[in-house]
Amino acid sequence: MSETEIYQRQGFGNAMGFGQRPALLIVDFVVAFTDPAQFGGGNITAAVEQTVGLLAAARRLGVPVAHTRVVYADDGADRSVFCNKAPGLLRLTEHAPGAQIVPELTPVAGELVVRKTQPSAFFGTALAPWLLGKQVDTVVVTGCTTSGCVRASVVDAMSHNFRPIVAVDGVGDRALGPHEANLFDLQQKYADLMTCAAIAAEFERL
């Protein structure tokens, strides 16, 4: 019996479904996470390229857009145990070059920029109230890394009762093994997987 068959037999892997009011959440596509010499590598650059087109579609069709950045205080006052695992994250301060959103995805007026110190875009931030204020029911997620901040944000989106849709070609990781394993797990338990092209078509339909 295959791994997929095991999950199917136990009732996992059903569709969340696309709701009526989507938003696009772009997780941590910042310079440091697209640079293999810092925190990047793998298929992250390709995921950025795919997200460019999806972001353009969202903007053209009036879909709400939120971006996230990892931002720590200059003096490390908000350091948490998360930094024990990855102390280099403390270099990502407000004005650090590596902490800036990549130029091709630069936010425009009206788009929310969430500053966070934990993996999830929702933990300790104003993201959920912002989405609720816009009557969003579906959160489309792109970004990096699939096994880290993307996964944490997707699980928390579901926990807030949003329908998470992961853009399968718009998320990336520094290593492909964790990327593929987490996509499998997300699809079975927490989200639907769709390509950026299919998501853009849903934006058009709605």
| Percent of the chain clearing pLDDT 90 (strictly above) | 95
**How many angstroms separate the Cα of 15 from the Cα of each of 3, 130, 140?**
18, 25, 14
Give the model confidence (pLDDT) of 28-75 as tens digits: 999 999 999 999 999 999 999 999 999 999 999 999 999 999 999 999
**How many angstroms separate the Cα of 63 from the Cα of each of 29, 81, 99, 124, 136?**
19, 35, 25, 24, 10
10: in domain: no
85: in domain: yes
Q: What is the CATH number of the domain that holds 168?
A: 3.40.50.850
38: in domain: yes
Question: Mean pLDDT across the chain, nearest whole number?
Answer: 97
Q: Which helix (H) or strand (E) holds 27?
A: strand 22-27
Give the model confidence (pLDDT) of 129-183 as tens digits: 999 999 999 999 999 999 999 999 999 999 999 999 999 999 999 999 999 999 9
187: in domain: yes
183: in domain: yes
> Which residue range forms the structural domain that includes residue 133?
20-205
53: in domain: yes
User: Token pair 């390509």 is at which residue?
Assistant: 195
Say how many domains are in the chain: 1
7: in domain: no
Q: Are strands 192-194 and 163-172 parallel, antiparallel or unpaired?
A: parallel
| 83 in active site | no
2: in domain: no
Active-site position among 83, 144, 149, 196: 149
